[in-house]
Structure 1
Amino acid sequence: MKPKVYRLDGRKIKSVKDFYREIGRSVNGRGGYFGANLDALADCLRGGFGTPDDRPFEVDWDHSESSQRHLGGAFVDAVVEVFDEEGITLRLR
């Protein structure tokens, strides 16, 4: 089964708060929740927070280089690690 792909617009991410707002919007629509810290992000990636229960999903982080300039490499690396630990594909584009 083809995975559902959620897209983050890195141009909208200039702070950690923006990151969580943008991933919440991508997965659950405007104003949607998808964590507010790395532990909550891991919980959300496990399912039940707007992700499909019946098929795999992936996340494409478009314009990730723009986000990385604002967030710093350590935060982005931590996010990548959470995705890896949960077995969810995250593509930095």
Structure 2
Amino acid sequence: MTGQTEPVLYRIDGRKIKSAKDFYREIGRAVNGRGGYFGRNLDALADCLRGGFGTPEDRPYMFEWQHSAVSRRRLADGPDASLIDDVLDVFSDAGVVLRLR
């Protein structure tokens, strides 16, 4: 029965993220499969984290941003340099765990 209470884990592949557009594509894929939607900006991401966009309604869920250091390096000098910190804030405000790996 413990399997029912274990959080669903969604993995974001940071090796595929070089821009905010890449991030939203990758998080959409992680939750809803290839071409899936899970926001296209921070406000939409916050809405998606509230539920009803592919995450389970009957059990907890969390995210793991794998290779986040690769993403951070690639984003560092561009217009999306603050993306990781901004996304962390949105997850924190929504009460959803996002682990950077």
Q: TM-score, normalised on structure 2?
A: 0.89
Cα distance in structure 1, aligned partners of 2:54 and 2:75? 25
Find 1:85's aligned residue among 69, 87, 93: 93
Find 1:5's aligned residue among 5, 9, 13: 9
Q: TM-score, normalised on structure 1?
A: 0.97
Unmatched runs of 5 consecutive residues or more in structure 2: none
Cα distance in structure 2, aligned partners of 1:75 and 1:62? 15
2:84 paired residue number: 76
Find 2:33's aligned residue among 26, 29, 33: 29
Larger radius of gyration: 2
1:71 deviation in Å? 2.2
Unmatched runs of 5 consecutive residues or more in structure 1: none
**Aligned-residue identity in percent:** 67
2:62 paired residue number: 58
1:70 deviation in Å? 1.9
Q: CA RMSD, aligned part only?
A: 0.8
Opposite residue 88 of structure 1, the aligned amino acid is: V
1:14 paired residue number: 18
Post-superposition CA distance 1:37-92 (Å, at most 9, x none): 00000000000000001001000000000111122352110000000000000000
